[in-house]
Structure 1
């Protein structure tokens, strides 16, 4: 039976034509089921994985039942496109002996760029000016200077450190926190200082979220955290939606404790039509698109395909330099 690579990640699906002939030249088939939303649910993924030898997945449902269904069929390897792995039941994958790889470091610069885009828009009301000019108005909004302000970055991995580097270019102080101690040399390279989470809440004029979602940081920014922040703080989330308690954020926006929020991610995606966040014109929304540049997508597609091929025996030593998460 011919081995099959399943592709459910939308970014790779759109460009699969660049890789299909290469994959087939190695003697493998490619299955690209039609994707109408952002990701596939558990039932679809369980059915797809049973008939796949290796899968390249995105934000699809990859819980215990799904992985068990896959391994009960033909599945022998999984590639998680990108860096986020919160949708993968890693303990189950480990128990089943299912190797799972992701592709970290592919878009540190791109996500950091988007975070700074939110900062510049919110601090100078660019999105509001654009809206008013289009409506025939000439509104002069009073913005906020960035020079001398304090940026607090939650998560000092590759993306977080690139945010530090960028805010320093605007004359801001960069302080950050992380669950691990970052080497001094890495912090000095981007002009940042590592502090506690509580210090971020107390000192930051702008708070960026750039950390992975874990069970421990679900709703990290909750009512208590918002209550401790400086009045008028800006919140920018380019990480994962559930790190913020959106009910608490709505209350903080309503009270003015949070002056504005730039959100590329949400607790539920797409953002529900009835979300009260939509009521605030001091919020700037994205579509979970931090990685969405042509260059970043291409390099991540290439890396994902290379890992999948390696798991099927094409240059298997390549896996030694890849990031295995289970």
Structure 2
């Protein structure tokens, strides 16, 4: 049996040659569209019915998309990566479409990026680099990280890896999570689990490392920013909609947020129409925190494992 598969995850598409032998082994006929970040709902609706399965990036697999897919051949939706906020899981379950993701795979990679962003905010190395390239010998007085309070929102595999790195840098750690944080981790790195208000009030640097859920959409809103110290730093390596960008702009204007590093945005890819591009104290990324060669090759295979497993399950049910 040959299955027709759509792949929409940019890191997997960029490394697709490494998967060809596996595709042949598993009898997968693979379609690889040209994608910058993700397909739109409209684009998915036009093509989804033709595929038995998808290895998905952050594309909007809404109920509408899934219903059209189910009327065609769609049986399996395998998410490449951790976050499933773009998938209507309830609709998929009701339609009998198998879903999966690849949890606990990017802790070190995203934590490295979070630490890198924090170091850039502290020492402004990117500005010094740009100045020296232009013939200027810029001397920026930085900020020491030792002794500063880092508040980490979301202490799962990624948040825990961030916390361990910050502990090595000599930072004091506060953590917030909707679940109890692992006691062994808290003891190991002297991390204190607190409620959100305390984290907002006490942290010098706030790092977002949580999943996006309906409950935490715009978690960082005007009220949250008003609770923070003047001059707080913000690092977001989670999901853009966790931050209300209009409220963030107001916080930057008022000085509540002195500096920010954003790897993700409310609308992606971000365009130059976004007012945040006018703030030199904001470092911007391209939702690229997990993208290392080693991690991509590893997760490619896990995603294919999940896809094939569920395609076989679906075939058995229909036999």
1:223 aligns with 2:222: yes
Q: Report the Cα distance in structure 1 between the residues aligned to 2:80 and 2:163, rounded to whole angstroms.
A: 25
With the length of structure 1 as denominator, give the TM-score of the two structures.
0.92
Aligned ranges 1:54-133 → 2 under 5 Å? 54-133=53-132
1:10 matched residue in structure 2: 10
> What is the aligned length?
314
1:47 matched residue in structure 2: 46
Cα RMSD between the aligned structures? 1.6
In terms of mean alpha carbon deviation, does 242-251 or 181-190 score higher?
181-190
Aligned ranges 1:167-178 → 2 under 5 Å? 167-178=166-177
2:159 matched residue in structure 1: 160
In terms of mean alpha carbon deviation, does 258-267 or 139-148 score higher?
139-148
Note the C-alpha offset of 1:61. 1.7
Note the C-alpha offset of 1:182. 2.0
Note the C-alpha offset of 1:310. 1.6
Aligned ranges 1:129-140 → 2 under 5 Å? 129-140=128-139
1:20 matched residue in structure 2: 20
Answer whether contact 2:210 2:238 (CA < 8 A) is retained: yes
* Unmatched runs of 5 consecutive residues or more in structure 1: 317-326
* Unmatched runs of 5 consecutive residues or more in structure 2: none
Answer whether contact 2:19 2:300 (CA < 8 A) is retained: no
Answer whether contact 1:161 1:190 (CA < 8 A) is retained: no
Note the C-alpha offset of 1:234. 0.5
Q: Report the Cα distance in structure 2 between the residues aligned to 1:21 and 1:62, rounded to whole angstroms.
A: 28
Note the C-alpha offset of 1:190. 4.2
1:280 matched residue in structure 2: 279
Q: Report the Cα distance in structure 2 between the residues aligned to 1:2 and 1:271, rounded to whole angstroms.
A: 38
Note the C-alpha offset of 1:33. 2.5
SS in 1 for 2:214: coil
Aligned ranges 1:144-293 → 2 under 5 Å? 144-293=143-292
With the length of structure 2 as denominator, give the TM-score of the two structures.
0.94
In terms of mean alpha carbon deviation, does 252-261 or 17-26 score higher?
17-26
